[in-house]
Amino acid sequence: MTVALITGANSGIGRAAAVDLAAKGWQVYGSMRSLDKAAKLDAMAEEKGATVNKVVCDVTDTESVNRAVAEVTEASGGIDVMVNNAGIGGNGVAEETPIELYEEVMDVNLYGTIRCVQAVLPQMRERGSGCIINISSIAGRIAAIGQSSYVASKWALEGLTEGLAQEVVPQGIRVALIEPGIVKTAILAKNTDAPNTTGAYDAHYRRLFGFYAAGLKAPGHPGEVADVIHAAATDDPPKFRYTCGWGGKELSENRAKVSDADWIALGAIEDDAAYAARFEELFGLKIAE
């Protein structure tokens, strides 16, 4: 039986993945900072006739991560699949984003993943097998406007994961990167704040929220990401990169075709309708009514 540890399993993608993979017959351990947050996870698992084992883990605390990995290892005999899903967002252009927010976002989205990787790799190396799946974002491929700290964390995660894949392949360990576009979660629906302290970036914030509003009309579902996680762990031959959710495929494929000059020129467009039209021309996504 495949044993998986999924971080951030109390909500959204992590919760859906934990339940769906448990329903597929995996032995799943879902981590969260407090078991008080597990009520909906338990209800969803019960509805599917599945069992998700819960474990306390704060990915910003190295001791907590090591303790959680040790607990799961002792209970299960070893972790086959590590899914680094725990993450937070962060709105704000570079000028208006406090260093403290960059630090907070990086501590969860990047350093949290590193802590989990470092905790689980020794046992995978010893066995000569295992799979590490890092949940990034399409913002790891395209610099989503008005989300400087989040984008920075996900671009760093992409670099970490590409390097990790080469580092551990001789050990028989597979590494995969999942880059969801817009997926309907409670956190995303509440993502409506931006600092806008100078007033100089009104257009950027309008376009940020307009982009998400467009995606939320037909968003991906957390269960879709759960299916991709399963594929990332089982595909033969293995693949490294996966996209899913609204805009995932279009943004990933088309950003590679957009020149740096065209990308920068997009930001210089003053009229929102003209911006939306050019965005659709470049990326194939309609973001205006």
pLDDT digits (tens, 9 = 90+) for 217-231: 999 999 899 999 999
Closest CA to 184 of 129, 144, 224: 224
Mean pLDDT score of the chain = 95
Query: Which candidate in 102, 150, 212, 242 is catalytic?
Result: 150
Enumerate domains of the chain plus CATH numbers.
3-189+220-248 (3.40.50.720)
- Phi and psi (nearest 5°) for 91? -90, 150
Is 150 a residue of the active site? yes
What does the block give as tokens for 117? 């990787």
| Cβ atoms of 143 and 188 closer than 8 Å | no
Report residue 196's pLDDT band, with 50, 70 and 90 as the boundaries.
confident
| Cβ atoms of 136 and 85 closer than 8 Å | no
- Phi and psi (nearest 5°) for 133? -120, 120
Report residue 192's pLDDT band, with 50, 70 and 90 as the boundaries.
low
Dist CA 18 CA 54 (whole Å)? 10
Dist CA 166 CA 111 (whole Å)? 19
**Range 167-175 average pLDDT:** 98
pLDDT digits (tens, 9 = 90+) for 80-93: 999 999 999 999 99
Report residue 188's pLDDT band, with 50, 70 and 90 as the boundaries.
low
pLDDT digits (tens, 9 = 90+) for 17-36: 999 999 999 999 999 999 99
pLDDT digits (tens, 9 = 90+) for 235-270: 999 999 999 999 999 999 999 999 999 999 999 999
216 CB-near residues (< 8 Å, 6+ apart): 182, 184, 188, 189
Q: Pick the range with the lowest mean pLDDT from 59-73, 167-181, 187-201.
A: 187-201
- Phi and psi (nearest 5°) for 18? -60, -45
Report residue 190's pLDDT band, with 50, 70 and 90 as the boundaries.
low
Which pLDDT score, from 0 to 100, does residue 193 have?
A: 78
Percent of the chain with pLDDT over 90: 92
Dist CA 270 CA 24 (whole Å)? 50
**Range 191-197 average pLDDT:** 79
Which pLDDT score, from 0 to 100, does residue 187 have?
A: 62
**Range 265-280 average pLDDT:** 96
pLDDT digits (tens, 9 = 90+) for 119-167: 999 999 999 999 999 999 999 999 988 999 999 999 999 999 999 999 9
